[in-house]
Amino acid sequence: MNTAILAPAAALAIWSMIMLFWMAGTRFPAIKQMRSARGEPGGVSKAKAGGRGQDLEGLIPDKVNWKAHNYAHLMEQPTVFYAVVVILALAGAAQLDVWLAWAYVALRIVHSLWQSLVNTIPIRLMIFVISSVILLVMAIRALLLTI
């Protein structure tokens, strides 16, 4: 088994946790500031009791919500990446697969930073498409190794 391919997956998992803490670190102060501005000691009155993070859309600044949007994205397509990495590890990943995995992780980190700090759609879409093509190539390689 080629365990070198597991390192990019571990790195992306760590990056996902960094994004979680970045999201919380910007959201909580924004919520506190909003409550203070409205004189609401017990909570955000316009947010639903027991609500979800997405209920904060339009209540806290968009730039704060961008981190939450990206964290959600890291829970979506990268789940396919994790599965493909495990398949490649078990089936005998080549060095090319390791490079592709690191390229995917690097692009996901760039995507996170772009979405969280700048968030212009054309650039973000380009980063997403390139990373998606890399993931597709990895998935095809995993399939070819297992049939």
* Segment 47-87, tens digit of pLDDT: 556 566 676 767 788 899 999 999 999 999 999 999 999 99
CB 119 within 8 A of CB 66: yes
Domains of the chain, earliest start first: 3-146 (1.20.120.550)
Q: Return all residues near 27 (Cβ < 8 A) that are at least 6 apart.
A: 53, 56, 60, 64, 65, 67, 68
Q: What percent of the chain has pLDDT over 70?
A: 86
Token duo for residue 116 = 């969280």
119 conformational bin, left if phi > 0, alpha if psi -120 to 50, beta if neither: left
Helix ranges (DSSP H) in 39-119: 62-74, 78-91, 95-117
CB 58 within 8 A of CB 106: no
d(CA 92, CA 2): 6
pTM of the model: 0.87
Q: In the predicted model, what is the mean pLDDT of residues 96-120?
A: 98
